[in-house]
Amino acid sequence: MSVWFTSDLHLRHARLVEIRGFDKEIDAHDESILDSIGAAVVSGDELWVLGDVTVGGRAAEDWALRALGELARARNVELHLVPGNHDSCHPMANRNSHVRQRVFLDTFASVQLFARRKIAGRTVLLSHFPYTGDHTAEDRGVQYRLQDEGDWLLHGHTHQSGVLDPSVHPRQIHVGWDSWRRPVHIDEVAEIIESDSPTP
């Protein structure tokens, strides 16, 4: 069994499709993402999606959940969601998020606002949001961000092309689609942590 991470799939999101170079071809964009996930994972693997499955709208969200669920069943992969600000099961996106959580649990084995793993001997937190930084001038959703107490953090949300940005924060790793264009294997995360960790 292997563990994988990704974020910010934004399936059915017309604006991001263009930004990502798919020239208004939503189906090609979504197929590229789903094919990349399918090529990475094998039976028994876990995939953690750190939010923003789509950009909202019930039809787009239901389509994305159905597509991810079909992929997970076909590949026998367990999906987990740490929802983002565009997922209707996150309280930032929807004041009735508890109602939509049931729908997400038809696709994902778990839905939680953050998670904690041990990677390369370090505690690593999983959140949609970074400790600090955004793709806008000001950090958004600060009330939903984890407090930095010294642990490494895997995140999405920023849509940055880089994986690490020490000028923003030295221990946050962006696993979003815009950086990797594929799921990130846990061993790749471990290599980053081991190469950048200060000696304890």
Give the whole-angstrom CA distance, residue 121 versus residue 129.
23
Instruction: Specify the CATH number of the domain 3-196.
Output: 3.60.21.10
Q: What is the pLDDT of residue 154?
A: 97
Domain ranges of the chain: 3-196
**157-199 pLDDT, tens digit each:** 886 666 666 556 778 999 999 889 999 999 999 999 998 754 4
Q: What is the pLDDT of residue 146?
A: 86
The confidence band for 55, taking pLDDT boundaries of 50, 70 and 90, is confident
**1-36 pLDDT, tens digit each:** 999 999 999 899 877 777 777 877 899 999 999 999
Are 106 and 72 in contact by the 8 Å Cβ rule? The answer is no
Average pLDDT, the chain: 89
Q: pTM of the full predicted structure? A: 0.90
Q: Which residues touch 42 (CB under 8 Å, ≥6 apart)? A: 2, 75, 77
